[in-house]
Homo-oligomer: A and B are copies of this chain.
Amino acid sequence: MSNPVLVEVLRGALVESRHRGAVAVVDADGGTTFTLGDIETPVYPRSAVKALQALPLIESGAAERFGFGDEELALACASHGGEPGHVATAQRMLAATGLDEAALQCGAPWPSHSASARELARAGQEPSALHNNCSGKHAGFVCTACALAVDYRDYISPAHRVQREVKAVIENLCGLRLADEHCGIDGCSAPNWALPLNNLALAFARFGSGHTLSSQRAKAAARLRAACAAKPWHVAGTGRFCTEMMQHFGSRVFVKTGAEGVYCAALPEQGLGIALKCDDGAGRAAELIMAAMITRFLPEADRSWLGRFLQPRLRNWNGTAVGGLRPTEVLSR
């Protein structure tokens, strides 16, 4: 019942560390195309489902009412680095409703983009909730509440109208009733429901193709995908895997990271959804596994560009090459 080793970390001639994980690749009818490991046990998708959590922002009419363009919609799907452009976009979303960062209940950590954190410190400032990597998602929740004409203030409660809408959307896409006992609290305080990788992959196959969804929901999904493809920097930030993938592939690949080693993707041309989790929560391994999955299901011509994500080199503080990561045979064969 243990998941296979999918990624090895090398130093010199030896394997220094190992990462296990599970992967599900599913089509929009729920047909399983490829699996590795246990895809049945519920896992918390964390931020990997932000694009699904953003569907009510479109469906409620909030995005249209507040005049949101690609940047705002991409940020609603984002785990951003808290770079200045991310912060400004979140601020703009809230300002459209007449609110500011005091409306956000995500907490106020320093930006995860370290140069931006240092820049903030250099300017003698402290972070606000706008710097939280989830500020776009939370601004989206607030805007959705405003469009639904409900009090936004308790928007992170699972009982709040916005979260009930989010839950219903995810249940529709993943083809599963989400269990209350599988509801955890995310790093940003929003509810997060655990579900099997199998169903998570199904949700992204449907998110990518619209297949089996209502035409309104299929359109909302297409709008979010188009926004992320147009503004991939807003989905993550400088040098980040999600951003680099979508900058390169545009609307052909939608990809989103989640904490604790989760990654989800939609490949609309192939009609596939991908969901994976690294057992130990390591983001470095989750990225490599996702790169391997994109390589596997995209046409041959796209593969050479992906090579550097499959064999990333590790350099030390002096820039000396000391090792690297590589997929194991079970992942790459």
Q: What residues make up the interface of A, taking CB atoms closer than 8 Å to B?
A: 2, 9, 11-14, 16-20, 42-44, 105-110, 114, 117-119, 121-122, 124, 132, 181-189, 192, 194, 260-261, 279-282, 285, 316-320, 322-323
Contact = CB atoms under 8 A, between A and B. Distances in A.
A16 B316 CA distance: 31
A184 B317 contact: no
Nearest to A7: B280
Contact of A14 (B42, B188, B189, B319): B42
Contacts of A282: 280-282
A280 B18 contact: yes
Contact of A122 (B107, B124, B187, B280): B124
A51 to B, nearest CB: 21
A280 B43 CA distance: 19
B323 A184 contact: yes
Contact of A119 (B107, B121, B181, B189): B121
Contacts of A124: 122
Contacts of A118: 110, 117-118, 121
23 contacts: A2-B2, A11-B44, A11-B185, A12-B182, A13-B181, A13-B182, A14-B42, A17-B260, A17-B279, A17-B280, A17-B281, A20-B280, A106-B317, A107-B316, A107-B317, A110-B114, A118-B121, A119-B121, A121-B121, A132-B317, A184-B323, A186-B316, A187-B317
A43 to B, nearest CB: 7
Given A9-B281, A118-B118, A121-B122, A185 B320 contact: yes
A317 B16 contact: no
A184 B14 contact: yes
A185 B119 CA distance: 32
A113 to B, nearest CB: 13
Given A117-B118, A189-B316, 7 more contacts: A11-B44, A11-B192, A19-B280, A110-B118, A185-B316, A189-B318, A281-B282
Output the residue of A16, A117, A182, A319 with the most chain B CB within 10 A: A16
Contacts of A44: 11-12, 14, 16
A11 B119 CA distance: 33
A10 to B, nearest CB: 9
Nearest to A4: B2
Contacts of A132: 317
Given A110-B114, A281-B282, A318 B184 contact: no
A264 to B, nearest CB: 16
| 3 nearest A-B pairs in the assembled complex, by CB-CB distance | A107-B317, A12-B184, A118-B121
Nearest to A277: B17
